[in-house]
Chains A and B, each alone.
Chain A
Amino acid sequence: MDLLEIRHMKKGFDGLGVLEDISLSVGKGEVVSVIGPSGSGKSTLLRCATMLEKMDGGELKYMGEAAAWEENGRCVYAGKQKLKEIRKYFGLVFQNFNLFPHYTVMKNIIDAPVSVDKVPLKEAQERAMKLLGQLGLADKKDAYPYQLSGGQQQRVSIARALALQPKILFFDEPTSALDPELTGEVLKVIKELAREHMTMIIVTHEMQFARELSDRIIFMEQGVIRMQGKPEEVFGSQDERVREFIGKFTS
């Protein structure tokens, strides 16, 4: 069964089509990278998939459970309770982290498990310490976000997402807000997750990284998936647009 299933997703802003007709399935353990020029709708796709944005049409399913579907040409969402359950299946890592500045690193990580999922405090803390250890941040547990470098903040935000034990993790350009010398430490963490067969969908401009790590690469352009396939297929594509785009980043 596919973890995530998107069918004919459509989204526009003020009548302007941004996603035209996106269909996409992601299986367990799969790592999918989404690339494409600016404005092609990559973030919008992620925001619709994570329900930060309501889609105008199409179908969205996690673990076979429908979050949204079409009825009489209109897109309807499941009830509040159902959506709450479905939200547990995924996590999202933002480009600019969005850590909670008034909470320590530890509190950032344990607060949602404790106050949303009702995980016992002890257990949540143990889970958090384990994650912080894995991400090389054990000594930062009492720091506040402003005391951390961008790379450290992004790793904390990854830990925060993982603490809820999602089945699938989305990343929207997780290294774009970072200085080049900090990019590596975040990419390393994502690679580590891939090795542990975490299911991930990553929007990125890091071509080399996407190529090494992904099981599949999706190339988006003007709101449609122009091409998708194994990294070697996409990077070796004869499609003019794909070649031109990749050329820009690997020259």
Chain B
Amino acid sequence: MNLATVFLQLIKGMGVTIEIFFLTLLFSLPLGLVLSFGRMSRRKPVQGLSKFYISVMRGTPLMLQLIVVYFAPFYVFGMRISAGYRFTAVILAFALNYAAYFAEIYRAGIESMPVGQYEAAKVLGYGRAQAFCKIILPQVIKRILPPVTNETITLVKDTSLAFVLAEAEMFTIAKQIAAKETSVMPLMAAGLFYYIFNLAVAGFMEYLEKRLDYYR
């Protein structure tokens, strides 16, 4: 097999990798915000439950979570696992896992906001939701961009864990080709792909940071 065909196959896998990446962000970023509200809730049961969830998601391997989410319908509910569920399970597990990390990032950001910002908004008549959306959240986003960048870069690499469910993303394919051809070249090529992907991610996040650089 020549280089070109290897690349062609890898690129197909790359499409799936990119899909996992964006879908995970799409679901985990808002879910993380909701979870951080739960974590900061004054209602003890809500707070306790959120805290427990976050600690479990961060304290157990993502690979294990992928397997659990994939097989749970069968072992827990005795349902037959359909072929289409594989991809759903991957996204579900990634989103549930990354939401926990993002929740803690949001929480740190929200708690770092000076209380004077809330008080100024309150005295000016803003409602709670309005104050949060217009005054607090934009400033929180600026503050949490660096840790979110870290998490996002980790996510690019973590997508490769989907191989445990034999999801046809780039790493799974690279491994298959490498085994068949007894060559490390496909794996090196995959590595290069991840690296370039992350360069792009880092570049984009840097651009966002610059965009938010207009105030201090």
Contacts and interface: CB of A to CB of B under 8 A. Distances in A.
**Does A pair with B?**
yes
B138 A116 contact: no
Contacts of B139: 101-102
Contacts of A92: 123
B116 A146 contact: no
Given A100-B135, A102-B138, A116-B126, A145 B117 contact: no
Nearest to A116: B125
Q: Which of B122, B124, B126, B215 has the most CB of A within 10 A?
A: B124
A197 interface: no
Given A101-B216, A146-B216, A112 B126 contact: yes
B215 A117 contact: no
B210 to A, nearest CB: 15
A25 to B, nearest CB: 21
B120 A116 contact: no
A116 B130 contact: yes
Interface in A90-123: 90-92, 94, 96, 98-102, 111-112, 115-117
A153 B177 CA distance: 64
A209 interface: no
A160 B124 contact: yes
B212 to A, nearest CB: 8
Contacts of B214: 144
A87 interface: yes
A91 B123 contact: yes
A112 B125 contact: yes
Given A84-B125, A91-B123, A146-B215, A115 B130 contact: yes
Interface residues of A, number: 26
A52 interface: yes
A52 B123 contact: yes
Contact of A50 (B123, B130, B134, B216): B123
Interface string A65-101: 0000000000000000000100110111010101111
Contacts of A111: 134
A88 B138 CA distance: 25
Nearest to A99: B120
A112 B126 CA distance: 7
A111 to B, nearest CB: 7
A4 B116 CA distance: 24
Q: Which of A116, A117, A144 has the most CB of B within 10 A?
A: A116
Contacts of B19: none
B157 interface: no
Nearest to B125: A116
B121 to A, nearest CB: 8
Nearest 8 pairs between A and B by C-beta? Answer: A98-B120, A98-B116, A112-B124, A116-B125, A146-B216, A92-B123, A144-B215, A101-B215
Given A88-B125, A161-B124, 17 more contacts: A52-B119, A52-B122, A84-B125, A94-B116, A98-B114, A98-B116, A100-B117, A101-B139, A102-B138, A102-B139, A102-B142, A115-B126, A115-B134, A116-B130, A144-B216, A145-B215, A146-B216
21 contacts: A50-B123, A52-B122, A52-B123, A91-B124, A96-B116, A98-B116, A99-B120, A100-B117, A100-B120, A101-B216, A102-B139, A111-B134, A115-B130, A115-B134, A116-B124, A144-B214, A146-B215, A146-B216, A160-B124, A161-B124, A164-B124
Interface of A: 50, 52, 84, 87-88, 90-92, 94, 96, 98-102, 111-112, 115-117, 144-146, 160-161, 164
